[in-house]
Amino acid sequence: MSPAEAYQPDRSLKGKMRRRLVRLAHRRPLTAGPQSPMVTFSFDDAPLSAAEAGAALLEAHDARGTFYVSAGLAGSDGPMGRYAQAEDYRRLAAAGHEIACHTFSHLDCGRASGAQARADAKRNLAALDEWRTGPATSFAYPYGDVAAGPKRALGPRYATLRALHHGVITAGTDLNQAPAVGIEGAEGEAIASRWLDQALARKAWLILYTHDVREAPSPWGCTPEALARLIDRAQGGGAEIVTAAQGAQRLGVGAPSPAQKA
Q: Mean pLDDT across the stretch 104-113?
A: 95
pLDDT in tens, 125-165: 999 999 999 999 999 999 999 999 999 999 999 999 999 99
C-beta separation of 170 from 202 below 8 A: yes
Q: What is d(CA 10, CA 231) in angstroms, rounded to the nearest whole number?
A: 34
The number of beta carbons lying within 10 Å of the beta carbon of residue 235 is: 15
What's the chain's average pLDDT?
93
What is the pTM assigned to this prediction?
0.93
Residue 20: per-residue pLDDT: 78
Pick the CATH number of 31-252 from 3.40.50.720, 3.40.50.300, 3.20.20.370, 3.40.50.970: 3.20.20.370
Q: What is d(CA 247, CA 36) in angstroms, rounded to the nearest whole number?
A: 11
Residue 5 has pLDDT above 60, yes or no: no
pLDDT in tens, 188-245: 999 999 999 999 999 999 999 999 999 999 999 999 999 999 999 999 999 999 999 9
C-beta separation of 220 from 209 below 8 A: no
What are the sequence ranges of the domains in the chain?
31-252
Residue 262 has pLDDT above 60, yes or no: no
Long-range contacts of 11-17 (CB under 8 A, 24+ apart): 15/110
